[in-house]
């Protein structure tokens, strides 16, 4: 079942909507994060290691770790929302389980329950070194679906 989920991808229309929205996020651009996978109810975001996203001991900063986790969950939810809506985070909690080290970190947002208004996601962040992944953070998030304002 996990292998099937790994192969599944969102439709080209959903992928384009997610990527267009992601590209408008100044913080993700500033951090150097990029989306690597978009599937229905699941999004992966990678953040390469560099001094600008590290804290004083050389680990990935908790703020950068949390930001990509929040964003991965938000876009995971957004993959399931109608085209004329937007997503906003209502709340999230993240547990930092181990120092975030590696060539990069990878956040995975996975929808646990998508409702008419609220969606709940699982957040995971892995440190990746030489292809080996280690869980460094875990959390949960609640998002709200809102109607897109007319522009």
54 DSSP 8-state letter: B
Q: Is residue 142 part of a domain?
A: yes
**If DSSP codes are grouped into helix, strand and coil, which group holds residue 8?**
coil
Mean pLDDT for back-to-back runs of 10 residues, the chain (151 residues): 62 96 96 98 98 97 98 98 95 98 98 97 97 97 91 61
151 in any annotated domain: no
Kindly report the CATH number assigned to the domain that includes residue 126: 3.10.129.10
Q: What is the reported pTM?
A: 0.93
Domain residues for the domain of 8 are 2-146
Asked whether 77 and 40 are in contact (CB, 8 A), the reply is: no
Domain count, the chain: 1
């Amino acid at each position: 079942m996990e292998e099937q989920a790994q192969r599944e991808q969102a439709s080209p229309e959903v992928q384009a909507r997610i990527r267009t929205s992601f590209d408008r996020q100044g913080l993700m651009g500033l951090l150097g994060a990029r989306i690597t996978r978009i599937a229905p109810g699941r999004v992966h975001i990678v953040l390469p290691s560099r001094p600008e996203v590290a804290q004083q001991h050389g680990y990935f900063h908790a703020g950068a770790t949390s930001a990509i986790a929040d964003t991965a969950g938000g876009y995971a939810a957004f993959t399931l929302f109608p085209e004329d809506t937007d997503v906003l985070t209502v709340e999230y909690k993240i547990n930092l389980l181990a120092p975030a080290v590696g060539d990069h970190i990878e956040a995975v947002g996975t929808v646990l329950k998508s409702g008419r208004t609220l969606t709940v996601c699982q957040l995971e962040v892995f440190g990746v070194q030489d292809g080996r992944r280690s869980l460094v953070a875990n959390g949960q998030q609640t998002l709200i679906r809102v109607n897109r304002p007319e522009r």
